[in-house]
């Protein structure tokens, strides 16, 4: 078994994690200082959202140099220390590689836009206006209903950007771009990173000379982009990772909501090692909805031997507590996440059951309006919550009560519960790698078994606000998301795992 199949990967949004130099923004030394906490929690790997030099228009997803660390976060030396210390504790380190676009301040783009004949002109995607003066195609930008094209006055052409105009898309059909981007991977692989989360990697190939269908016209182009040539590029990327020992992993942010389409990005074991399954993030909190999501995922990925992944939140979407409401449901959702067959992604702060911060209009800094779920981690219940200079975004409500310190001290906390779940999964072969069987719903209770050899664990999740009888004679309770479970019954919003055999 490769390590990443068994893993729980913990997403750190570095700006909001831990601030070592009291400037209000988290940094790499902040992460280093919290490694003991992460070891205690029991996760296997950390994925750091981008740490590269950036003008921060999209808070690091606009990269102006792929092979350095932004001074906000520290230095390459700090990064090397972080990797070394994490590895000493058995924690792997993944970076967030942003291959689809650069910052408009990247030297490649500065050169590209300097003239039509510049050395890097063809590293980006330029088009003339159509003969009637209209835009090159009808694609829509990710966070608004604006076009993905911006007119460049100096050189008299449009350039493509699926995100901000400050994030021009790279032209992956140019082999020089592919080589240069491979070099950026090698730079970090040499420094010992264990792999990459790859930002909107399904979008690197493009069919720019076609419009999106008329009935999808108001949708952002990002979740529609799905073209054959991307698979060739992914095979090249895979070969770069395979130049290195030690199971380096590629995890694609394949932002497509259909597991059948997502499955194609694993190739025949020669493209991505893993892909995000965003269907899980957007599945409503209902047994029937989860039945469909799990069933569709298993049947799309199983036949092609692609390993599933599960995610409930990240830096782009509302936190679980905000989305589902209440700690009972958070704990039930954590149980489900960690009991499913596949690699699990845990967004920093979910182990605390944090909610999104309420961000007043004048405090909004993100162009996509995603500030609430990026609220800083409250480390303790002092006034500053471990952020001596205050933090770049407001804290979530009740930060003291949700702080790491307060929850470490209370055995009934969401943090301690998540820690117990993580330990259970780590020590249970059947939870890590067993098959999923017997998937069904009883009323609004989801039921499935994890099965390996002669072991069977039954997972039950009650999605309702009322109790539900369970017939599990002869089974023993392994873990429950409520403090005092009642035998023979699931409490409202309870998730439980029983040993059947």
Residues at the site binding ligand NOJ, with contacts judged by CB under 6 A: 58, 61, 98, 163, 199-200, 253, 315-316
> Cα separation of 67 and 97, whole Å?
10
Q: Which helix (H) or strand (E) holds 416?
A: helix 414-426
DSSP symbol at 205: S
User: Which residue's CB is nearer to ligand NOJ, number 315 or number 432?
Assistant: 315
Least gap, CB of 180 to ligand NOJ (angstroms): 18
Q: Which helix (H) or strand (E) holds 179?
A: helix 175-190
Examine the residue annotation and report whether 199 is marked as an active-site residue of this protein: yes
Examine the residue annotation and report whether 145 is marked as an active-site residue of this protein: no
> Cα separation of 359 and 376, whole Å?
12
Q: What is the CA radius of gyration of the chain?
A: 23
Kindly name the residue from 23, 243, 409, 483 that is annotated as catalytic.
243
Give the Å distances, CA to CA, from 96 to 6, 11, 487. Answer: 20, 10, 45
User: Which residue's CB is nearer to ligand NOJ, number 26 or number 42?
Assistant: 26
Task: Report CA 184 to chain centroid distance, whole Å.
Answer: 21
Contact 1, 433 (CB under 8 A): yes
Least gap, CB of 61 to ligand NOJ (angstroms): 3
Least gap, CB of 56 to ligand NOJ (angstroms): 12
User: Which residue's CB is nearer to ligand NOJ, number 163 or number 448?
Assistant: 163
Q: Which residues does residue 346 pair with via DSSP β-bridges, in sequence order? A: 10
Least gap, CB of 113 to ligand NOJ (angstroms): 20
Of 48, 333, 80, 401, the C-alpha closest to 197 is 48
User: Which residue's CB is nearer to ligand NOJ, number 100 or number 418?
Assistant: 100
> Cα separation of 53 and 71, whole Å?
7
Kindly name the residue from 27, 96, 169, 199 that is annotated as catalytic.
199
User: Which residue's CB is nearer to ligand NOJ, number 373 or number 422?
Assistant: 373
Contact 48, 16 (CB under 8 A): no
For residue 50, give both structure tokens.
């981008």
Q: Which helix (H) or strand (E) holds 327?
A: helix 327-339
- When CB distances to ligand NOJ are compared, the closest residue is 61
DSSP characters over 183-218: HHHHHHHHTT--EEEETTGGGSS--TTSPPPGGGTT
Least gap, CB of 240 to ligand NOJ (angstroms): 21
Least gap, CB of 168 to ligand NOJ (angstroms): 12
Q: Which residues does residue 437 pair with via DSSP β-bridges, in sequence order? A: 449
For residue 268, give both structure tokens.
């025949």
User: Which residue's CB is nearer to ligand NOJ, number 201 or number 337?
Assistant: 201
> Which of the residues are catalytic?
199, 243
């Amino acid at each position: 078994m490769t390590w990443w199949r068994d893993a729980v990967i913990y997403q750190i949004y570095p700006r909001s994690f831990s601030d070592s130099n009291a400037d209000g923004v988290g940094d790499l030394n902040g992460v280093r200082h919290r490694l003991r906490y992460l070891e205690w929690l029991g996760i296997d790997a950390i994925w750091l959202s981008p740490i590269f030099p950036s003008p921060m228009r999209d808070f690091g997803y606009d990269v102006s140099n792929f092979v350095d660390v932004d001074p906000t976060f520290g230095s390459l030396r700090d990064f090397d220390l972080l990797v070394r210390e994490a590895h000493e504790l058995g924690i792997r380190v993944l970076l967030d590689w942003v291959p689809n676009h650069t910052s408009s301040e990247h030297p490649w783009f500065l050169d590209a836009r300097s003239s039509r004949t510049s050395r890097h002109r063809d590293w980006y995607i330029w088009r003339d206006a159509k003969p009637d003066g209209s835009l090159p195609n009808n694609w829509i930008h990710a966070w608004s209903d604006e076009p993905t094209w911006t007119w460049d006055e100096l050189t008299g052409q449009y350039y493509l950007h699926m995100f901000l105009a400050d994030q021009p898309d790279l032209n992956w059909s140019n082999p020089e771009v592919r080589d240069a981007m491979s070099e950026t991977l090698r730079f970090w692989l040499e420094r010992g990173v264990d792999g990459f989360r790859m930002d909107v990697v399904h979008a690197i190939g493009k069919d720019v000379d076609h419009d999106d269908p008329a009935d999808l016209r108001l949708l952002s182009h990002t979740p529609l982009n799905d073209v054959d040539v991307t698979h060739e590029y992914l095979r090249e990327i895979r070969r770069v990772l395979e130049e290195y020992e030690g199971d380096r992993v590629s995890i694609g942010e394949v932002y497509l909501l259909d597991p059948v389409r997502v499955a194609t990005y694993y190739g025949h074991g020669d493209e991505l090692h893993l892909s995000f399954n965003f269907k899980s993030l957007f599945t409503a909190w209902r047994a029937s909805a989860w039945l469909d999501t799990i069933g569709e995922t298993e049947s799309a990925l199983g036949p092609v031997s692609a390993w599933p992944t599960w995610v409930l939140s990240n830096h782009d979407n509302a936190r679980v507590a905000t989305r589902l409401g209440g700690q009972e449901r958070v704990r039930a959702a954590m149980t489900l996440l960690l009991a499913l067959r596949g690699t699990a992604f845990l967004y920093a702060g979910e182990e605390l059951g944090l909610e999104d911060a309420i961000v007043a209009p004048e405090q909004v800094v993100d162009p996509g309006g995603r500030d609430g779920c990026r609220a800083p981690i409250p480390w303790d219940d002092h006034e500053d919550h471990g952020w001596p200079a205050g933090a770049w975004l407001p804290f979530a409500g009740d930060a003291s009560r949700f702080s790491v310190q307060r929850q470490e001290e209370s055995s009934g906390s969401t943090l301690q519960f998540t820690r117990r779940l993580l330990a259970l999964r780590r020590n249970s072969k059947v939870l890590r790698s067993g098959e999923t069987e017997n998937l069904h719903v009883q009323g609004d209770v989801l039921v499935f078994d994890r099965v390996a050899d002669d072991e069977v664990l039954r997972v039950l999740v009650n999605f309702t606000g009322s109790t539900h009888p369970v017939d599990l004679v002869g089974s023993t309770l392994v873990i429950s998301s409520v403090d005092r479970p009642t035998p023979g019954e699931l409490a409202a919003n309870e998730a439980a795992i029983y040993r059947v055999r």
